[in-house]
């Protein structure tokens, strides 16, 4: 069994929408960031 702080850090914060990053989850924000890096990577 995990503690409440572990649950918040692992499960809740990954899914919670954050206003500072455009009301998307941190996982979605990172996905978009890395997609952008791949798209602009020089050949």
C-alpha to C-alpha distance for 40 and 24, rounded to whole angstroms = 22
pLDDT at 32: 94
pLDDT at 33: 94
Contact 28, 17 (CB under 8 A): no
C-alpha to C-alpha distance for 6 and 28, rounded to whole angstroms = 21
**Domain spans of the chain, in order of start:** 4-40
pLDDT digit string, tens, across residues 1-43: 668 888 777 777 777 887 888 999 888 999 999 999 988 877 6
Please give the backbone phi and psi of residue 18, each rounded to the nearest 5 degrees, phi first: -110, 130
pLDDT at 19: 86
pLDDT at 1: 60
């Amino acid at each position: 069994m995990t503690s409440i702080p572990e649950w918040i850090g692992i499960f809740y914060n990954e899914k919670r929408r954050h206003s500072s990053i455009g009301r998307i989850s941190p996982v979605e924000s990172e996905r978009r960031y890395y997609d952008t890096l791949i798209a602009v990577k020089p050949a």
